[in-house]
Amino acid sequence: MGHSLGGPSGISELMDDLGQALAHGGPHIKMLGGGQPAQIAEMNDQWRLRMEEIMNRAGGMESMLSQYDPPRGNPHFCRALATMLAREFGWPITEANIAVTSGGQTAFFFLFHLLAGTMPDGRRKKILLPLVPEYIGYANQSVGGEMFLAHRPLIKHCGPHEFKYRVDFDTLEITEEIAAICVSRPTNPTGNVLTDEEIARLSALARQHAIPLIIDNAYGAPFPHIIFEKALPVWEPHIILTLSLSKIGLPGVRTGMVVAHPDVATALGNMSAVVGLANPNMGQRIALPLLESGELLRLSNEVVRPFYVAKSAFAKRVVHETFGERFPWHHHRSEGALFLWLWFPDLPISSKELYERLKKRGVLIISGHYFFFGMGAIESQNAEWRHRHECIRMTFTMAEEVVRDGVTIIAEEVERAWRENGGSKS
């Protein structure tokens, strides 16, 4: 267990790069690798206003900083979240369906170990990822052996230099070892938004096999609403939906929220008590009146979403202008989240080596191979599936000049790799 959690991982490399770049990198670093949300002035004004309101209200600071909330979350916050979701989507939920965790990452650690791993009868259960690449932060969460079974996607070309991953339902199988199905929507790293039809089919499969469908909604609707396609949020008693305050602009307060059957919500509260006694208060206190008034939804719809729509459009334009026809390349259709997923077919070097070369030039991205985990069975059948080593993830949240300069250097290094290896770029 200690070796599993304490060893190197993709998520630790990502966060170390992010922290070191922010602390020591200086202005020359092109930080295109992390999931850090952008600094949006209007959102920062809201957080500053809320902090001032808390500080100026008698007992406000004290209640936020000097007392424990219940381990399942502040009751007023849980009630406000359930009321908003019931009002917006008609879901039959109450505060009994809500559990707060110390960030979304913690929520998934709890959920995966609550549902999967070694069962009392000795059997091992796994989490099915019906479509990879999938979020890097899941990969190393197991404390006892491989926890994930990943399914290779279909690749559908949908425009010049553009493609989209789709769930391959024809080969998707739910076996006895599957404890739950898990997807992120929009997907980190690719910006993929599973269609309403795909979600409905996954939900039906989960219901048929009496297992949960976990939907990671860290970027989705109703907040922070960093989603560029029409996609209906769904919840049913067998669905576990996670939300977060991070991507709306509060990553430092570490506030995750889980919408689930009351039994699951209660179990998560018990786990929070064991691991950390209680969850951080600050995010719940900041967001509570914004949830109650509906202002959080207005800010998501009118400020956050349009900001990232423009960021995505700029990044795609820069990539198309800079890459041109210099070498083979595609990007995943940008349907949400904070990233462009770049694919370089037949890249002469691995994405890991490309990452190292770019890092030396002050450009930080994430090598795509980290996002293809849980594929043991697939690897034995398709050991040379090069696609896993031809992709990188870049964020487009930084200033435009940082994105433009970073993309320029990426193009130079990919072109150099082709030149050094004498490969055909046709």
Q: What is the CATH number of the domain that holds 16?
A: 3.90.1150.10
Do 319 and 340 form a contact (C-beta atoms < 8 A)? Answer: yes
Residue 419 lies in a domain: no
Contact residues for 144 (Cβ-Cβ < 8 A; gap 6+): 1, 4, 117, 118
**CATH number, residue 261:** 3.40.640.10
pLDDT of 26 above 80: no
Distance CA 215, CA 217 (A): 6
Tell me, yes or no, whether 364 and 342 share the same domain.
yes
Does the structure show a pLDDT above 80 at 10?
no
Same-domain pairing of 306 and 211 = no
Q: Does residue 55 lie within any of the structural domains?
A: no
In a shared domain, residues 241 and 261: yes
Percent of the chain predicted with pLDDT > 70: 91
- pTM summary value: 0.92
* Containing structural domain, residue 34: 2-42+299-413
Q: Are residues 392 and 272 in the same domain?
A: no
The last residue of one of the domains, among 293, 313, 337, is 293
What does the buried/exposed string (b/e) look like for 31-59 if buried means 16 or more CB atoms within 10 Å of the residue's CB? bbbbbbbbebeebeebbeebbeebeeeee
Query: Which of 293, 318, 338 is the C-terminal boundary of a domain?
Result: 293
Looking at the fold, whether 224 and 353 belong to one and the same domain comes out as no
Q: What is the tens place of the pLDDT at every residue in 336-364? A: 999 999 999 999 999 999 999 999 999 99
Mean pLDDT value across residues 126-138: 96
Mean pLDDT calculated for residue range 179-201: 97
Between strands 117-118 and 330-332, the pairing is unpaired
pLDDT of residue 325: 96
Q: Does 35 fall in a domain?
A: yes
> What does the pLDDT look like over 252-306, one tens digit per residue?
999 999 999 999 999 999 999 999 999 999 999 999 999 999 999 999 999 999 9
Tell whether 47 is covered by a domain.
no
Residues 166 and 283 in one domain: yes
The verdict on whether omega for the bond into residue 75 sits within 30 degrees of 0, i.e. cis, is no
Query: Is 310 domain-assigned?
Result: yes
Residue 426 or 389, more confident: 389
For 410-423, what is each residue's pLDDT tens digit? Answer: 999 999 999 998 75
Q: Does some domain include residue 59?
A: no
Are both 288 and 306 inside the same structural domain? no
Instruction: Write down which residue in 258, 278, 293 finishes a domain.
Output: 293
Question: Do both 26 and 72 map to the same domain?
Answer: no
Residue 424 lies in a domain: no
Domain total for the chain? 2
Report the run of H or E that residue 125 belongs to, with start and end.
strand 124-129
Q: Same domain, yes or no, for 345 and 236?
A: no
- Say whether both 403 and 259 belong to one domain: no
The closest alpha carbon to 392, from 329, 306, 321, 315, belongs to 329
Cα dihedral 143, 146, 147, 149, rounded to 10, equals: 170
Q: Which pLDDT band holds residue 7 (cuts at 50, 70, 90)? A: low
Question: Does residue 61 belong to any structural domain of this protein?
Answer: no
Task: Give the pLDDT of residue 375.
Answer: 87
Predicted pLDDT of residue 300 = 98
Q: 272 and 249, same structural domain?
A: yes
Q: Are residues 247 and 346 in the same domain?
A: no
Q: What is the DSSP letter of 425?
A: -
Comparing CA positions, the residue from 313, 304, 303 lying closest to residue 340 is: 313
